[in-house]
Amino acid sequence: MCSYRNPSPPREEEEPFLLGDAIGDTVYSKRWVLSVVADLCKYAHARCATTERLPADCDVIDETDMDEEWEQELCKLWDASVDEDVSCFLYEVNATDVALQVIAVTQLPRLREICVGVLGNMACCLSVRIQLCQRSDFLSVIREVLMCGDPPTLIEAVRLIRTCVCDENCRVPWLTTFRESEFQNSLLFILESSTNENLLTSVAQLVDDAVRTDSDLASVIAGPRCMQAICEAFGQVRQSEPSRCDVFLLLMQALSSTEQGIQSLVEVWASAWSLVCAHICACVSTDIHSAVNDQILSTAAACSLLSILIENNRSEALEALETLQDAPAVSIVTALEQLQRLSHESDLEEEVEDEALQTFRQILNDVVNKVQRC
């Protein structure tokens, strides 16, 4: 691959903090940052020029791996962009425009990941974040990134969007985007098909943040496909990292706060029942005290989901509870009873917030009563 970066400076000037024109109070040099951004700009222009020379029926340009030295420089910039002063400087010198153009034209997954990561770091700066979210080109390019197939890049994109969604000053454009079917399809496709646990939990957390921020959004996205996709992701993560499944339970509970969500949950009854029961039983068998202490919110969510499943399909619940071959369903009764007993121990009242504990007891009593009536 041809190089899009300038020749390396002499060794004694190689590190960005040795150049003497520091950005704010940081150790990073303005000249160095401008040099790295200029290399990105050259790359983007070269890619665009090459694309324009292609035949009309050809839209593919083969690219080899990145130049190792260039990648290292870009990674330094990625690290530097964590600093607020550097983020502001990058925005001032139009690095955002360059990064967006590179993301749009490159076929190098690592380069795309770095550029999205830099933008994600820049978005951690409030003043930059507000300006970014006012730009239609920023929203458009990041939406397009969600359709790529590279997990590291997707993780960075989701992190960036979460940063914006969690800020009341910036969330409106993204909450509007959540209502677009194409955007929903991108997120659901990831939940349905990815095997990357970090990506799956990140997407679930993003959706959870969004629906808890905008109560009307839950009704918009809580269709059967969405609930099934969450179950698929839940099952995938549970195979390798069951301790990270809390987010799926909390998301399913949030979606089930709407009539549409309840209907969708019932439509995936078998999958949801199996996952929720297995989770509760695993929590009780491995660390029951943690289930009603550190994980009380997710345990309460699991019990709440179980209550909804029983309430809306008693015949299926009864059959599952009576089928001796179904070990999770048989053990769920014992697991719930153990949780109920532990929830009333005096020591627990000193460890868990009173409101959370009272809510947990109410949910638990409700589901135990429903199980006993089956």
Q: The tokens of 221 are what?
A: 């996205």
Does the structure show a pLDDT above 50 at 131? yes
- Enter the DSSP assignment of 324: T
- pLDDT band, very low/low/confident/very high, at 90 (cuts 50, 70, 90): very high
In this predicted model, what pLDDT tens digit does every residue of 161-170 receive, in sequence order?
Answer: 999 999 999 9
Q: Strand, helix or coil at 116?
A: helix
Measured in degrees and rounded to the nearest 5, phi and psi for residue 22 equal -65, 150
In this predicted model, what pLDDT tens digit does every residue of 244-279 receive, in sequence order?
Answer: 999 999 999 999 999 999 999 999 999 999 999 999
> Environment class of residue 271 by beta-carbon count within 10 Å: exposed (0-12), middle (13-18) or buried (19+)?
middle
- Report which of 157, 220, 211 is spatially closest to residue 186, judged by C-alpha positions: 157
Q: At what angle do helices 30-52 and 95-105 cross, to 10 degrees?
A: 40
Does the structure show a pLDDT above 70 at 11? no
Neighbours of 237 (CB within 10 A): 22
What mean pLDDT value characterizes the chain? 87
| pLDDT for 112 | 96
CATH number of this structure's domain 1-178: 1.25.10
How far apart, in whole angstroms, are the C-alpha atoms of residue 301 and residue 249? 6
Measured in degrees and rounded to the nearest 5, phi and psi for residue 246 equal -55, -40
In this predicted model, what pLDDT tens digit does every residue of 149-204 receive, in sequence order?
Answer: 899 999 999 999 999 999 999 999 999 999 999 999 999 999 999 999 999 999 99
Does the structure show a pLDDT above 60 at 327? no
Q: What percent of the chain has pLDDT over 90?
A: 64
The alpha carbon of 291 is separated from its chain's Cα centroid by a whole number of angstroms, namely 24
**Which residues is 22 bridged to in the sheet?**
29
In this predicted model, what pLDDT tens digit does every residue of 334-343 receive, in sequence order?
Answer: 889 888 888 8
Q: The tokens of 17 are what?
A: 């903090």
How far apart, in whole angstroms, are the C-alpha atoms of residue 127 and residue 207? 24
Per DSSP, the residues of 246-287 read HHHHHHHHHHTTSHHHHHHHHHTHHHHHHHHHHHHHHHHHHH
In the chain, what is the greatest distance between 2 CA atoms, to the nearest angstrom?
79
